[in-house]
Structure 1
Amino acid sequence: MASNSPAVAITGISGNLGRSLAKQLHGKERVVGIDRRPFPGRPKDLDVHHVDIRKRKAEDLFRKGRIHALIHMGISHDPRMSAEELHHFNVLGTAKALEYCARHGVRKLVVLSSANVYGPHPDNTNFLTEDAPLMAAARFGEIRDLVEVDILAQSFIWKHPEVETVIVRPVHIVGPTIRNAATRYLRLKHPWVLMGFDPMVQLIHMEDVCRAMVLALTPGVRGVYNVVGPGEVPLSAALSELGRSPLPVPHILARSFLRRLFQLRLSDFPPGELDYIQFLCTIDGSRFAKEHGWKPEYGLRETIRSLAAE
């Protein structure tokens, strides 16, 4: 693409999901990447800036870079950062990104959120719609930042109707290079399961999530959309497909035991994450399908098995 053509900016481009998204857009759009992390092996014609989204240098890119669309996925989950640092980077960084869009004439904004903002809960109904309350932070403080980012984006929709804003809430993202709580759990040889519980889980392949974000760039698309993969499956079936040997644990003991392990830094899993293998949190993705023809390309077995490929 010509160096002076309107660009799509991507925050968080150096992450594995960001790289996949850049690959899908490469050659179709001029892409401007914004990330504090390096992007080794990037194509020579991919314009990546190693800046903090909160800094003036980042705003300069919007002021001078002819950016017509922003895909904001620059949310950090770096365990080396304190909770306070993460909160400041994620929430203030999002606020700054939204501010740049409003101030510098960005016409399209796509914010990557997550279906996790709804939160697993014993009172959840099957297949939550986009209108369901975002309850994750009530029981699981570690997801507070993501809920706040989602709420900031919702507020932006109403305050700035001149910007076509899309909030994308995908189910658990998996893939050969994805490293998140869901993939860490599903890659364990002997994952804990809670005795008496076998919730349905929904997974989506990383390439399908990128396709959903590209679709969200289409002129006229705006609003909040759940994005689902090829279907739902009991947790036990997903673990069986991956050849795992689960360890049944009484749920009464599991939470206190995991809390102690987490405090001693013997586990990467906060005790709140047990909710995801105990309670239901399935979402309804029909709105995106009906209004914009969304359909994942990866089948259910292929999506699950992508976790085995490294």
Structure 2
Amino acid sequence: MGAMTLGHTPGGPGVVVVTGVSRYLGAHVAARLVADPAVERVVGLDPHDPAAELAPLLDGVERIRADAGAVGGVIADLGADTVVHLALATAPEKQQGGRAAMKEQNVIGTMHLLAACQRAPRLRKIVVRSSSAAYGASFRDPAVFTEDTEPREVPRGGFARDILDIEGYVRGFRRRRPEVTATVLRFAPFIGSAADTTLTRYFAQPVVPTVLGRDPRLQFLHIDDALEVLHRSVVEDHQGTYNVAGPGVLTLSQAIRRAGRIAVPVLEPGLSGAAGIARTLGFGRYGLDQVDLIVHGRVVDTTRLTTEYGFTPRSTAAAFDDFVRAQHDGMLTGARLRAAEQAVLSGIRQVRDASRERA
């Protein structure tokens, strides 16, 4: 696993603009760039203040209170030669304003940002956060997706559809500014001791709802490896689209066992069946992006990444085990295991009783 190179790179990035610095990924990317002497200046664009634990990371970052959709001439005025676009909303329930606000930030925000980049004469590189959700998840999927694989059908989830729109805008930008290096990173779901996502909260539950008869193959990416790939994308030149994931796979059942949790298999009357049972048993909300993933799974090929970057992320299993170690206090043993089993049985009886009443 490669370490971040701190030596000066002749002709390295001058002014680097990072969007989304109020959140974990953006704050840590900006902090790493500030620490790299190859980078002259780092500017963070975000309309929000960072959480208290992230604020110290931004001490060396010049911050402008603006979102990606309101940058106008800011990119050109700053003389930016590199833009790192990380300001994506991944789940409507975490976004004030719900799905409409999520699409506004992701799709419209990216469109305006790329328009500003197009007008920036000094720009020579743009790095865009994407997701393996671009491939969708269905029973028609190939065993492994390469970067050239087209989704077999339009994804149902809002985030995945946003990703397709975003990548479409980037392709248009490449045609208009072919001299600019445009790097698109299709990240697998983040995991690790510091990751806090819908998926990590799913695996952190004492009992985990699954779909009866389904045991999908999953890939994860340690969030520290995502930071490394983003950093290399700024200080090196990597034109094109790259799958970024940990080698190897875990089936859903293997992941649940490794996490010390109990699986709750439920029938799937429709694609959102798992989400329905999760709500019924009080396990929170899951969008169709997450439901599709735990029903069908998704595996991507990372040959292009390892060849072009000379870097291999830690394996899916190793990344997941780091998450498990951080969750160790929540693992089920002894009396807690028996109590959880009783809670599952009680929940199943409640669902069955409700079904009989409706019948």
TM over 0.5: yes
Q: Which consecutive residues of structure 2, in runs of 5 or more, have no partner in the other structure?
A: 1-7, 328-359
Match of 1:34 among 25, 29, 45: 45
Residues 24, 198 of structure 1: alpha-carbon distance in 2 compared, 3 angstrom cutoff:
same
Provide structure 1 residue ranges, at least 5 long, that are not aligned to the other structure: none
Structure 1 residue matching 2:115: 3-state secondary structure? helix
After superposition, what is the alpha-carbon deviation per residue over 1:164-205, rounded to whole angstroms, capped at 9, x for unaligned?
Answer: 101100111113333323222122221111121111100011
- Determine helix, strand or coil for the equivalent of 2:269: helix
Contact 1:200–1:282 (CA under 8 A) maintained in structure 2 = yes
Q: Distance in 1 between matches of 2:184 and 2:230?
A: 9
Q: State the Cα deviation string for residues 5-64 of structure 1 (Å, max 9, x = none).
A: 821111111111112212322221221111112124234322122212222xx3343132
Which whole-Å deviations, capped at 9, do the CAs of 1:69-92 have from their partners, x for residues lacking one? 011011124333232222122111
Using the alignment, how far apart are the partners of 1:98 and 1:221 within structure 2? Answer: 18
Rounded to whole Å, the distance in 2 between the matches of 1:256 and 1:295 is 36
- Which one of 14, 27, 42 corresponds to residue 22 of structure 2? 14
More helix by share: 2
Q: What SS does the corresponding residue of 1:94 show, helix, strand or coil? A: helix
Paired with 2:294 and 2:126, the residues of 1 have a C-alpha distance of 33
Alignment of 1:66 with 2:79, yes or no, is yes
Deviates more, 1:112-121 or 1:216-225: 216-225
Residue 187 of structure 2 aligns with which residue? 170
From the CA coordinates, give the structure whose radius of gyration is larger: 2
- TM-score, with length taken from structure 1: 0.88
- Report the residue type matching 2:44 in the other structure: G
Separation in structure 2 between the aligned mates of residue 135 and residue 221 of structure 1, nearest angstrom? 27
Deviates more, 1:67-76 or 1:177-186: 177-186
SS at match of 2:207: coil
For 2:183 and 2:278, how far apart are their aligned partners in 1?
Answer: 39
Provide closer, same or farther for how the CA distance between residues 271 and 107 of structure 1 changes in structure 2, counting only shifts above 3 A: closer
State the 4+ residue runs in structure 1 displaced beyond 4 angstroms. 259-263
Alpha carbons 2:188, 2:221 under 8 Å: kept: yes
What residue in structure 1 maps to residue 116 of structure 2? 100
Give the 5 Å matches for 1:254-269. Answer: 255-256=272-273, 258-259=275-276, 267-269=284-286
Matches of 2:135 and 2:237, distance apart in 1: 26
1:207-238 per-residue CA deviation (whole Å, 9 max, x = no partner) reads 10111112222444101111121321111111
- 1:38 maps to a residue whose letter is D
Q: With structure 2 as the length reference, what TM-score do the two structures score?
A: 0.77
- Calculate the aligned-residue CA RMSD, in Å: 2.5
Partner amino acid for 1:304?
Answer: F
